[in-house]
Amino acid sequence: MINTDNLSLARQMDIVFKELEIELGSMNSGTVFVQIRNNVIGKFGVRHNPIAGRDGSLMEEGDGLDSEQLDNLRTMALESLRFKRYWTHGEISFDFTVKKDKLMMDATLESNYNMANLLIQRYPNRSSAHTYKESSSA
């Protein structure tokens, strides 16, 4: 079994897109998301609405991404990692669609912080964190 702690985030992202290749090949729009904790991808997947409605009727979407579009989506996702700075926990979402045979993608980078962890790191001495100090009885 591969230890993801030893893989770069870019390599992990590449593995995500290889895993989702078949699913992405059957859709022409959606959102790929990856959740990151300590610079390790945990949960990932695709958000997708397969049915579109217009003028009171439902239509299925057309063909999915072809191999060139899949490769372009993966490449753009890897390039977007250059904009991830200073955070280790969060989520990255890649919204994509195909219009007139052209792939369009927007990336959203979301950082997450935990107040309890910040307080522990910045104020490690617990005795000084109490509002009311114990009074000494003489």
The answer to whether 90 and 64 have CB atoms below 8 angstroms apart is no
What CA–CA distance (Å, rounded) separates 94 from 109? 9
What CA–CA distance (Å, rounded) separates 5 from 58? 45
- The arithmetic mean of pLDDT across residues 112-137, rounded, is 72
Structure tokens at 57: 């009727």
pLDDT at 125 over 90: no
- The arithmetic mean of pLDDT across residues 16-20, rounded, is 98
Question: Over the stretch 58-87, which tens digit does the pLDDT of each residue have?
Answer: 776 678 899 999 999 999 999 999 999 999
- pLDDT of the residue at 126: 60
pLDDT at 17 over 60: yes
- pLDDT of the residue at 74: 98
Per-residue pLDDT band at 6 (split at 50, 70, 90): confident
What CA–CA distance (Å, rounded) separates 64 from 101? 11
